[in-house]
Every structure is written in structure tokens, then in C-alpha cells.
């Protein structure tokens, strides 16, 4: 199956909206049509954005951003606006020219604006960009980086509710600058994400991830404005539990583990919460990272010296519902993320330890 792309729209000097694409990996079956209730919302209610849960980076990640090309002024514009996300999410962006950066940006004017979603960026060959900014302004940069941290298009929120005037949408998106056939319009406009694989509430028409479209595209006159900044619900949602919540206090959020030490006691206090631990492998060799207790947890190991390079995952390899990872590790610092198996309802206490 070829790479599927679906767009977000913004009004411009063109007669019709221009499109930017968030790219989906060919193997990815994340999005399927998600049927809404009959007689869905006549007017979307202000609420929150939506995120693909399986595409989130570990909470607290430092995401390295590399410029593959572009001018100094283009780089400066990206660095000016992207930290807006960090003000509300427990994510940090480090800019530079690392060839193995998590997010790699091209500035090809003929290729539009697009981004892969969240951790899909890790599956893209290092010599290829994970994002293109064919045009640059605050809204476009914030929108594409919203995709890069895992956010989906708001009009494809499973809560749905937009009553599309499909003949008009088909006709206008079939014209320049988009020139989309009917199948692409269906995929990019009318399908919604699977409810079981996203975290969402009702539609937020002010979201930075929302398409801008005119009232003639809907049956009830609903339209979406051109959003150029994060909405209040964007800010609340991106920092909420299960997305990228900030730690409750200075120094909280990342716990040090001692290799060979006793199990550190922790707990998933709220559904969707994720705990992050760190330990240092002072010598190369076999390491065992495991949880204890009765809580059903899922564990992911990252490193060396990277909070985003995933090297192992486990669910129930330990006794009962405990996770256990046995791995040969080289020297460096490693990060362990622990969450409840049930992101929707799971809570409970557990222990975690590292041995050799």
C-alpha cells in the first residue's frame, strides 16, 4: 500500500485552501472510518484536541530537531515558535544539525507542508526528512509540530460531528492547488480516527490542528476559522494526563534507579499516567529491568543516552502481570517508561529494579 497522506488546510491568497500533509506509514492501519451516531452534532462543542496514543513520545522527552536545509532566517522562525508547545507540554526541543535527530526538517517549496505523526518519525530513514515546511508562518509551524508530537487533524477527531456538504468539498478540493481525486478527499476529509487508538474528547474548532474551511463546505453553515495560535484547549490537552503532563514539582517526574539496588516503589495514580526512570550502565553487559507487585504494567526501554530511541518493550514476561526486559547494554544512560496496561482505567502500585 503506498504511503497515505491526508492534509490540513489553511486559507491563503489562493482561491481555494492550500494543503499541508501529515504522512502515515504504509504499514499503519491506525485510522479506519469510525462511525458516529446518527444525527451527529449540529455544532461542535468547544473542547479538546485528539492524539494518536500509540504515536506519543515518552513523556519528558528531549526531541532533537535537525535542519536538513534552509536559510538561517527559516531556521530562526522555527526556533521562535516551536517552544510554544514546550510551555504547555512536558517536552523539550533541541535544535541543531544532528544527522540522527528525531525530527528532520526540509524546506522544499514545491512539496507543501507535511509531517509524520509522533514516533513514526523514528521509522524514517536518516537521510530523509520527517517534516517539510514548504511555507513558514506561526500557524503552519505550530500545526506541523503538533503532528510531530502525535496530534491528529482535529476534523478527523473520532467525536466527529461535522455535517459535510460532500459534493461541494469534492468539487473544490478537486481544483488547484490541491487537485485531489474523490478517494483522496474521502481519506483526508471524511474518515475519522479509530476511537480505540486515540485519546480525544469533543471537537475543538479553535484548535491549531483544525482545518480552516468555509461554511459552504457544511450542510448547517458551520465553518472553521484560520487558527494561527494554540487554542486554550490545545494548551490544556497537550499537558493533560496520558498526553504530556508536566511533573508536579521541581525535580519530579524522572526517578533515578541504582543498578543492583532494591526495588524502587512507585504507583500509577491516574489512568493514562506514565512514570519515567533513569539508570546508568557503567559497564557493558547483560542487564535485567523488571517490575514487582500485582499491578499489570507495560514497560519500554530507551537509550543509550536517548529518551526517544526505543530498544525494547515488554508486558508480562515477569511473574504475574509484571514486565521484565533482559538486554545486553553498552555503556550509557538508559530510560525506562512504565505505564498501566489499561491506559483508560488502570491504576496501582508497583516496584521497579535493575540488576545484572
The closest of 165, 182, 164 to 173, measured between CA atoms, is 182
**pLDDT over 60 at 317, yes or no:** yes
The CATH class, in words, for 4-238 is alpha beta
Q: What is the pLDDT of residues 263-313, one digit of tens each?
A: 999 999 888 788 889 999 999 999 999 999 999 999 999 999 888 888 999
Average of per-residue pLDDT across 311-326: 94
User: Could you tell me if 114 and 21 are in contact, meaning their C-beta atoms sit under 8 angstroms apart?
Assistant: yes
> What pLDDT was estimated at residue 210?
84
Q: What is the pLDDT of residues 142-191, one digit of tens each?
A: 999 999 999 887 777 666 678 899 999 999 988 887 788 898 888 778 87
Q: What is the pLDDT of residues 6-17, one digit of tens each?
A: 344 443 334 455
Neighbouring C-beta atoms of residue 285, cutoff 10 Å? 12
The closest of 257, 290, 280, 278 to 329, measured between CA atoms, is 280
**pLDDT over 50 at 37, yes or no:** no
> What pLDDT was estimated at residue 39?
28
For 38-47, 102-111, 173-182, 339-348, which range has the lowest pLDDT when averaged over its residues? 38-47
User: Could you tell me if 325 and 296 are in contact, meaning their C-beta atoms sit under 8 angstroms apart?
Assistant: no
What is the DSSP code string of 65-125? Answer: EEESS--HHHHHHHHHHTHHHHTTSS-EEEEE--TT-SEEEE--GGG-EEEE-GGGGGGS-
For the chain, where do the domains classified as CATH 2.60.120.380 start and end? 254-355
Q: Specify the residue for cell string 503532563.
A: 245
In this structure, CATH architecture of domain 254-355: Sandwich (2.60)
For 61-65, 66-70, 307-311, 346-350, which range has the lowest pLDDT when averaged over its residues? 307-311
CB proximity list for 197: less than 8 A, separation 6 or greater: 30, 52, 53, 54
For the chain, where do the domains classified as CATH 3.40.390.10 start and end? 4-238
Cβ burial of 256 (10 Å; 0-12, 13-18, 19+) is exposed
Q: For all residues of the chain together, what is the average pLDDT?
A: 81
Q: Specify the residue for cell string 489562493.
A: 14
Is the pLDDT higher at 170 or at 36?
A: 170
> What pLDDT was estimated at residue 197?
42
> What pLDDT was estimated at residue 156?
72
Which range among 60-64, 129-133, 220-224 has the greatest average pLDDT?
129-133
CB burial of 123-147 (b: ≥16 within 10 Å; e: otherwise) equals: ebeeeebbbbbbebeebbbbbbbbb
Q: What is the pLDDT of residues 193-212, one digit of tens each?
A: 655 444 545 677 888 988 78
Tell me the CA distances in angstroms from 279 to 95, 146, 205, 221, 306, one per residue in order: 25, 30, 43, 56, 12
Alpha helical stretches, state H, 225-340: 232-238
What percentage of the chain exceeds 90 in pLDDT?
51
> What pLDDT was estimated at residue 309?
86
Average of per-residue pLDDT across 8-33: 46
Alpha helical stretches, state H, 230-309: 232-238
> What pLDDT was estimated at residue 196?
47
Average of per-residue pLDDT across 302-326: 92
Question: 71 pLDDT band (50/70/90 cuts)?
Answer: very high
**pLDDT over 60 at 24, yes or no:** no
User: Could you tell me if 126 and 99 are in contact, meaning their C-beta atoms sit under 8 angstroms apart?
Assistant: yes
Question: 48 pLDDT band (50/70/90 cuts)?
Answer: very low
Backbone angles phi, psi at 340, to 5 degrees: -75, 150
Average of per-residue pLDDT across 309-336: 94
User: Could you tell me if 331 and 239 are in contact, meaning their C-beta atoms sit under 8 angstroms apart?
Assistant: no
Is the pLDDT higher at 14 or at 131?
A: 131
**pLDDT over 90 at 329, yes or no:** yes
The closest of 176, 186, 238 to 207, measured between CA atoms, is 238
Amino acid at each position: 500500500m503506498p504511503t497515505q497522506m491526508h492534509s490540513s488546510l489553511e486559507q491563503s491568497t489562493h482561491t481555494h485552501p492550500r494543503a499541508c500533509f501529515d504522512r502515515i506509514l504504509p504499514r499503519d492501519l491506525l485510522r479506519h472510518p469510525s462511525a458516529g451516531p446518527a444525527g451527529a452534532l449540529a455544532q461542535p462543542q468547544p473542547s479538546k484536541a485528539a492524539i494518536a496514543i500509540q504515536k506519543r513520545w515518552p513523556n519528558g522527552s528531549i526531541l532533537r530537531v535537525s535542519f536538513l536545509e534552509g536559510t538561517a532566517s527559516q531556521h530562526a522562525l522555527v526556533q521562535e515558535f516551536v517552544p510554544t508547545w514546550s510551555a504547555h507540554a512536558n517536552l523539550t526541543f533541541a535544535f541543531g544539525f544532528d544527522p540522527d535527530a528525531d525530527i528532520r526538517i526540509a524546506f522544499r517549496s514545491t512539496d507543501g507542508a507535511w509531517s509524520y505523526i509522533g514516533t513514526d518519525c523514528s521509522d524514517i530513514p536518516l537521510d530523509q526528512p520527517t517534516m517539510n515546511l514548504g511555507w513558514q508562518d506561526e500557524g503552519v509551524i505550530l500545526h506541523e509540530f503538533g503532528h510531530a508530537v502525535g496530534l491528529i487533524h482535529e476534523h478527523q477527531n473520532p467525536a466527529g460531528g461535522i455535517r459535510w456538504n460532500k459534493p461541494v468539498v469534492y468539487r473544490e478540493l478537486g481544483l488547484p492547488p490541491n487537485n485531489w481525486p474523490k478517494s483522496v478527499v474521502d481519506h483526508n476529509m471524511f474518515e475519522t480516527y479509530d476511537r480505540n487508538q486515540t485519546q480525544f474528547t469533543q471537537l475543538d474548532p479553535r484548535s491549531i490542528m483544525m482545518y480552516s474551511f468555509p461554511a459552504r463546505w457544511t450542510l448547517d453553515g458551520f465553518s472553521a476559522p484560520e487558527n494561527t495560535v494554540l487554542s486554550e484547549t490545545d494548551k490544556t490537552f497537550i499537558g493533560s494526563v496520558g498526553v504530556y503532563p508536566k511533573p508536579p514539582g521541581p525535580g519530579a517526574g524522572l526517578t533515578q534507579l541504582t543498578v543492583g539496588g532494591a526495588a524502587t516503589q512507585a504507583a500509577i495514580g491516574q489512568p493514562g499516567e506514565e512514570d519515567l526512570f533513569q539508570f546508568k550502565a557503567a559497564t557493558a553487559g547483560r542487564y535485567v529491568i523488571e517490575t514487582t507487585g500485582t499491578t499489570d504494567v507495560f514497560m519500554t526501554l530507551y537509550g543509550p543516552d536517548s529518551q526517544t530511541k526505543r530498544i525494547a518493550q515488554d508486558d508480562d514476561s515477569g511473574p504475574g502481570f509484571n514486565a521484565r526486559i533482559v538486554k545486553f547494554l553498552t555503556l550509557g544512560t538508559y530510560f525506562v517508561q512504565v505505564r498501566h496496561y489499561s491506559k483508560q482505567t488502570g491504576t496501582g502500585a508497583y516496584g521497579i529494579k535493575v540488576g545484572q
